[in-house]
Structure 1
């Protein structure tokens, strides 16, 4: 399988050191992030799921540990909005250019403001989707924050 995706190209262009991990994606998994963490033997707290949401009128990208749920009130507060809601799959795919289960915060079709769960940044390395189903990219949290200009906040 080709490992080059818009996400991996964005990381390469930014000069970020990252490591790719492939696994057998299960489209029937109840929780995709948890399935990826289990398949790769990575603790769920450092494998971040990529979620797309709307905070007020703004589309935002949210990175949260795969074993946690995002608190929409906290997300709205972090984004300076009155409310927040998750996007439906079709809208998330249209905006990012990726398929659900393969949405990466890197290399999205339309750049969105990124919020990351603050607690996840305490790990020496974190893992995010690499831009396709069954591909994850491991990198330093500081690189993720720098490249995405991500805002750290308590979201879970």
Structure 2
């Protein structure tokens, strides 16, 4: 597995302190994020998933704990939109340059508005996809938000 991805290079170029955690990716897992948490020995609420949305028809990214669901109504409000819906997987892959199961909020092909669930602030560090299946980065939520130009909001269902 390559340990250098667009995501890790983006973190390095920004001077962000992070660590890498590789694991055996299981595409048949019921919850990829939950499986990742178990594999790396982390609390599922500390492992965050990256979801690509359309907010009023425009691309956006939300980062939320893998242990829960995202409220599209709350996500839309946080993105100052009237409505939000999940982006089609093929569109998410094309927009980000990553494969489903390996989408990182870092190093995407196009920068889009990003919201991170406020529970990220409860942890000294959170885990986010490192830009490929089976690779997690561990960094502070504040550092993630600063690099992404993201806001924090309650987006949990």
1:152 maps onto 2:152 in alignment:
yes
Please list, as runs of the form range in 1=range in 2, the aligned pairs for 1:38-49 lying within 5 A after superposition. Answer: 38-49=38-49
Q: What is the distance in 1 between the residues matched to 2:20 and 2:8?
A: 9
Cα deviations by residue, 1:2-40 (Å, 9 ceiling, x for unpaired): 200000000000000100000000011111111101111
Aligned to 1:70: 70
Q: What is the distance in 1 between the residues matched to 2:88 and 2:29?
A: 18
1:87 maps onto 2:84 in alignment:
no
Q: What is the distance in 2 between the residues matched to 1:10 and 1:85?
A: 27
Aligned to 1:28: 28
TM-score, with structure 2 as normaliser? 0.97
Aligned to 1:132: 132
Aligned to 2:52: 52
3-state DSSP of counterpart to 1:29: coil
Residue 57 of structure 1 deviates from its aligned partner by 2.5
Q: What is the distance in 1 between the residues matched to 2:110 and 2:149?
A: 15
TM-score, with structure 1 as normaliser? 0.98
Cα deviations by residue, 1:31-57 (Å, 9 ceiling, x for unpaired): 111110111110011110000001112
Aligned to 2:117: 117
Runs of at least 4 residues of structure 1 off by over 6 A? none
Structure 2 stretches lacking a partner, 5+ long:
none
What value does the CA root-mean-square deviation take over the aligned residues? 0.7
Aligned to 2:104: 104
3-state DSSP of counterpart to 1:146: helix
Residue 60 of structure 1 deviates from its aligned partner by 0.5
Q: What is the distance in 1 between the residues matched to 2:14 and 2:135?
A: 19
